[in-house]
């Protein structure tokens, strides 16, 4: 019955269902428009999150430096908002003209939410204008709290916009059970379609990823301004800003894999075949590429911290640990990037005794990979911890005990991770999947517990010397660019994974893609498309930053009076704790 | 400053080039779209060739049955029983190779090979029936005799009329509860009368545990509530019984299960 309906639909769809687009085809046009729109959207949703947090630190900590920083974050948003809207319009026009039948299906089902979406975007834009342009007018007292409330509202509207859009795209991936090709939109129900199986996991995953992405782009901006700085004050300010951006990006990035696990699990629970296509089917090698990218992120993020410790008096006592942390990270990347099954000729497979390499095959399974990534997360957290306390000397009477408890927590987490990693080889797959929860739980508990202890441990800590903001080697700033490029590319890759697992379906098992571009391309082609999207996005972002700088040229006084950054990394870390 | 700009540009271009290089160096697999067969003069050879393309391409079969270890490898000898064409006739008593493969593809929960999880989906949801028959022909050709004919393919097409014996498109039009339980494949996962699979909650005693409405919901929308102790199997039960059963069949089944205390 299902195939009959699909064929009837296909026959009906063939006429006028698709239009052609020059050179890159309809799929390529929609791909670029959707991805670039998403990149801008992630930026304008991520930056307000930490703009409002930074402003709160300035208000409640009575420190104007943070207020200035928050305003600088927000300045970057203004033009980016317009770019987001423009690319959203481009995407809508491409969909209506290139995929009219599909668009009719989506619009008839989601029309009410589309009206709300437009209204919210309108309100969100004007809230931003009020937030930015009212900054200097509402500077003190209750007016300042009111201004901060505008920042909170900006985040609320932005999050609501994201939740609605996520409802549309997750419906395409996991439509509610019982929806078939013949189901009428009114039978599906708007809320039923939005609150589908993967909606909430995607919401959480994107919420965190937006903060990661926004942080990395801001850090790259600060890196550029650092390299272009002409005065020591400017260098110090943008060195600090780069550190804050990187701190936000890496600290939120650490929790992103946990949201990813949940999303993957929900995809499997919704439809085993969809899950297998994603992890074991034609997309299985995508995860090797993902491991390569995440390896770059871990290494570049840690490298930036290690180099940055050179400008903190007292950090030299932690230098001997760096090589061991580097070793753990490199080994982790190698294990994570080991393929599960090898594609080879019949002779090669016969020589190996199967699709698994006799030695490397042991490392290509989830037990090894989960262990590797959890140890990498622990190591990165340790880097942050050492950076944070680099010039701080705890003075609380229980300092020794506190540090010992922290060390034990680290050791226990590592033991739990390794134990379940090894034990996973001796149990069935269904039991092994459950082990990842214990591994993740141990790492998360350690991050939370150690951070909580650290906050009290460093209260009133004695300083070993002031941090020398601005005295950072230039090569460290290129690590910030590497992070921004890799995060952006990774976002494009994961967008391809999420969208591509539907294969030849516009709406999985409900609406077939009957166009001549219905086949989901291989990774090589996808990598070129992703790179085009990244170039377009980064090019436009660079232009936007230049524009925002152009507007500031007249405000020479503001530039000349850049506030000095805080004296200890623990200050900003504490603000973010 | 231009020197810095050039350095940044070189870094970005170099990184993108490296990513593209790595992405193009690993195996290139494109997900193909199932193609409709020309049913005019379909021959066994044409079916086998089409089936091989579906098996290795659009069907996505190799993800589990080829290189992977999630399901029996159909292409090589398994535990001395031969390739799938040689062993398919011996999997289930009194079931021919063709019927067994058809059942495995369209009602995979009915019989799960011991040692494996019931993770396979009803392939008729993603492949047209002519493609399903082509895959069966290809699998039979791997060590067995191909007995799929053009009549099988035509009979499963909607216009043929004989491929959907049930009033709502299900495998049976009967309203006898046990006949339905067998025909719809419930027995593969649920224990009734002491026999059946352990994948889902047993039908025996179901009336004492669940209300009539809850049982009906479980049949129509199995994802709505997952039975305690069966969380790991969530998502296994197809959500399509509501489309396959007639209203009379559904009510007969609900009454039958509600009476099993």
Q: What is the pLDDT of residues A28-44, one digit of tens each?
A: 999 999 999 999 999 99
CA torsion through residues A427, A431, A432, A437, sign: negative
Most confidently modeled of A112-116, A137-141, A462-466, B148-152? A112-116
pLDDT over threshold 70, residue A14 = no
Q: Does B169 touch chain A (CB under 8 A)?
A: yes
pLDDT over threshold 90, residue A407 = yes
Contacts of B160 in chain A (CB under 8 A): none
Classify residue A122 by its DSSP letter. H
* End-to-end Cα, chain B, rounded Å: 82
Q: What is the pLDDT of residues A276-293, one digit of tens each?
A: 778 766 787 888 899 999
**pLDDT band at A494; cut points 50, 70, 90:** very high
What is the arithmetic mean of pLDDT over A117-143? 92
* pLDDT for the residue A85: 93
Nearest-angstrom CA–CA distance, B197 and B183 = 15
Q: Does B128 touch chain A (CB under 8 A)?
A: yes
Give how far B109 is from chain A: nearest CA, Å: 13
* pLDDT for the residue B162: 34
Burial of B25 (0-12, 13-18, 19+ CB in 10 A): exposed
Is residue A393 helix, strand or coil? strand
pTM here? 0.76
Task: Give me A417's structure tokens.
Answer: 């991770």
Half-sphere exposure of A253 (CA within 13 A, CB side): 32
Nearest CA in chain A to B121: A273
Nearest-angstrom CA–CA distance, A98 and A95 = 5
Q: Tell me the sheet residues that pair with A462.
A: A393
**Interchain pair A343, B7: CB under 8 A:** no
- Give the residue among A242, A163, A257, A241 at the shortest CA–CA distance from A208: A257
pLDDT over threshold 60, residue A487 = yes
pLDDT over threshold 80, residue A308 = yes
Half-sphere exposure of B53 (CA within 13 A, CB side): 15
What is the arithmetic mean of pLDDT over A111-134? 94
Most confidently modeled of A47-56, A245-254, A408-417? A408-417
Most confidently modeled of A444-448, A514-518, B53-57? A444-448
Q: Does B39 touch chain A (CB under 8 A)?
A: no
**Interchain pair A520, B30: CB under 8 A:** yes
Task: Give me B105's structure tokens.
Answer: 């593809």
Residues 175-214 of B with CB under 8 A from A: none
**Ranges under pLDDT 50 in chain B:** 159-168
Contacts of A289 in chain B (CB under 8 A): 19, 22-23, 26
Q: Which of A481, A513, A528 sits opposite B8 (nearest CB)?
A: A481
C-beta neighbour count of A16 within 10 angstroms: 9
* pLDDT for the residue A434: 77
pLDDT over threshold 60, residue A155 = yes
Percentage of residues in chain A having pLDDT higher than 90? 56
Contacts of B20 in chain A (CB under 8 A): 524, 527-528, 531
What is the arithmetic mean of pLDDT over A53-74? 88
Query: What is the maximum span of chain A, computed from C-alpha positions, in angstroms?
Result: 79
Is residue A511 helix, strand or coil? strand
CA distances to A124, A240, A477 from A471, rounded to whole Å, are 39, 11, 12
Q: Which of A273, A282, A538 sits opposite B29 (nearest CB)?
A: A282
ipTM of the complex: 0.86
Task: Give me A138's structure tokens.
Answer: 């509402």
Give how far A523 is from chain B: nearest CA, Å: 6
pLDDT over threshold 90, residue A117 = yes
**pLDDT band at A483; cut points 50, 70, 90:** very high
Q: Does B11 touch chain A (CB under 8 A)?
A: yes
Q: What is the pLDDT of residues A245-279, one digit of tens each?
A: 998 898 888 888 888 888 988 888 888 778 877 87
Task: Give me B34's structure tokens.
Answer: 């199932």
CA distances to A30, A74, A98, A462 from A37, rounded to whole Å, are 10, 19, 17, 48
**Interchain pair B16, A227: CB under 8 A:** no
Q: Which of B20, B26, B221 sits opposite A288 (nearest CB)?
A: B26
Contact, A262 vs A270, CB < 8 A? no
* pLDDT for the residue B161: 36
Tokens 């927000």 sit on residue: A74
Q: What is the pLDDT of residues A317-373, one digit of tens each?
A: 999 999 999 999 999 999 988 887 666 555 666 666 666 677 777 787 788 988 999
Residues 51-90 of B with CB under 8 A from A: 58, 60, 63-64, 67-68, 70
Tokens 């090019």 sit on residue: A539
* pLDDT for the residue A8: 43
Mutate to test the interface with B, among A264, A272, A292, A533 (most CBs of B within 10 A): A272
Is residue A392 helix, strand or coil? strand
């Amino acid at each position: 019955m299902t195939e009959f309906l699909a064929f009837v639909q296909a026959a009906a769809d063939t006429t006028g269902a698709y239009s052609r687009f020059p050179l890159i085809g309809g799929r390529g046009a929609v791909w670029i428009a959707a991805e670039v729109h998403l990149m801008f959207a992630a930026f304008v949703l991520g930056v307000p999150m930490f703009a409002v947090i930074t402003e709160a630190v300035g208000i409640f900590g009575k420190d104007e430096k943070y207020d200035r920083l928050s305003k600088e974050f927000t300045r970057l948003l203004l033009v980016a908002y317009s770019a987001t809207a423009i690319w959203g319009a481009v995407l809508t026009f491409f969909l209506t003209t290139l995929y009219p039948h599909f668009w009719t299906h989506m619009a008839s089902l989601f029309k009410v939410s589309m009206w709300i979406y437009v209204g919210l975007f309108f309100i969100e834009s004007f809230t931003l204008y009020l937030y930015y342009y009212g900054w200097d007018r509402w500077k003190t007292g209750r007016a300042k709290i009111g201004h901060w409330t505008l920042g909170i509202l900006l985040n609320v509207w932005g999050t609501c916009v994201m939740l609605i859009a996520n409802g549309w795209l997750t419906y395409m991936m996991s439509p509610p059970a019982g929806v078939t090709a013949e189901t009428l939109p009114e039978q599906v129900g708007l809320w039923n379609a939005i609150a589908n199986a993967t909606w909430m996991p995607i919401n959480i995953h994107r919420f965190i990823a937006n903060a990661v992405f926004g942080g990395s782009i801001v850090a790259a901006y600060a890196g550029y301004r650092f390299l272009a700085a002409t005065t020591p004050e400017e260098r110090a300010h943008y060195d600090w800003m780069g550190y804050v951006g990187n701190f936000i990006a890496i600290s939120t990035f650490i929790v992103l894999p946990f949201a990813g696990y949940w999303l993957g699990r929900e995809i499997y629970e919704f439809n085993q075949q969809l899950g297998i296509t994603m992890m074991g089917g034609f997309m299985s090698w995508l995860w090797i590429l993902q491991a390569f990218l995440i390896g770059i992120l871990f290494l570049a993020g840690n490298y930036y911290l290690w180099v940055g410790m050179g400008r903190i008096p007292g950090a030299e006592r932690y230098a001997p640990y760096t090589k061991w942390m580097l070793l753990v990270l490199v080994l982790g990347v190698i294990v994570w990037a080991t393929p599960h099954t090898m594609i080879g000729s019949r002779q090669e497979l016969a020589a190996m005794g199967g699709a698994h390499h006799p030695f490397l095959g042991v490392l290509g399974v989830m037990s090894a990979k989960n262990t590797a990534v959890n140890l990498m997360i622990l190591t990165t957290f340790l880097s942050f911890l050492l950076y944070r306390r680099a010039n701080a000397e705890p003075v609380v009477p229980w300092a020794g005990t506190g540090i010992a408890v922290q060390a034990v927590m680290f050791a226990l987490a590592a033991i739990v991770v390794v134990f379940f990693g090894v034990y996973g080889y001796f149990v069935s797959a269904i039991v092994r999947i459950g082990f990842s929860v214990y591994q993740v739980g141990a790492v998360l508990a350690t991050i939370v517990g150690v951070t909580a202890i650290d906050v009290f441990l460093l209260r009133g800590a004695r300083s070993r010397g002031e941090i020398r903001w601005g005295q950072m080697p230039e090569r460290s700033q290129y690590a910030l660019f590497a992070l921004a490029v890799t995060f952006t590319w990774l976002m494009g890759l994961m967008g391809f994974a999420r969208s591509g697992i539907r294969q030849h379906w516009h709406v999985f098992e409900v609406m077939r893609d009957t166009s001549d571009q219905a086949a989901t391309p291989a990774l090589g082609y996808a990598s070129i498309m992703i790179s085009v999207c990244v170039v377009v996005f980064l090019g436009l972002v660079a232009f936007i930053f230049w524009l925002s700088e152009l507007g500031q040229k007249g405000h020479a006084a503001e530039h000349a009076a850049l506030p000095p950054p805080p004296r200890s990394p623990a200050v900003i870390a504490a603000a973010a704790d | 400053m231009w020197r810095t700009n050039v350095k940044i540009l070189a870094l970005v271009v170099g990184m993108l080039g490296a990513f593209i290089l790595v992405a193009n160096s690993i195996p290139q697999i494109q997900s193909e779209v199932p193609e409709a067969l020309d049913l005019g003069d379909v021959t066994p050879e044409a079916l086998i060739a089409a089936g091989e393309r579906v098996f290795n391409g659009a069907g996505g079969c190799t993800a589990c049955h080829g290189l992977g270890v999630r399901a029996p490898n159909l292409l090589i000898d398994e535990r001395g029983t031969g390739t799938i064409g040689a062993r398919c006739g011996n999997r289930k008593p009194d079931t021919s190779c063709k019927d067994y493969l058809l059942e495995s593809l369209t009602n995979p929960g009915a019989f799960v090979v011991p040692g494996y999880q019931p993770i396979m989906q009803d392939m008729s949801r993603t492949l047209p029936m002519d493609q399903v028959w082509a895959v069966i022909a290809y699998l039979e050709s791997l060590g067995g005799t191909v007995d799929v004919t053009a009549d099988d393919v035509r009979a499963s097409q909607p216009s043929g009329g004989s491929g959907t014996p049930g009033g709502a498109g299900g495998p049976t039009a009967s309203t006898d509860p046990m006949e339905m339980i067998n025909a719809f494949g419930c027995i593969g996962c649920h224990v009734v009368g002491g026999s059946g699979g352990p994948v889902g909650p047993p039908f025996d005693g179901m009336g004492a545990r669940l209300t009539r409405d809850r049982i009906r919901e479980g049949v129509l929308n199995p994802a709505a509530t997952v039975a305690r102790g069966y969380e790991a199997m969530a998502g296994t039960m197809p959500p399509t019984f509501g489309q396959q059963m007639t209203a009379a069949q559904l009510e007969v089944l609900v009454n039958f299960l509600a009476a099993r205390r």
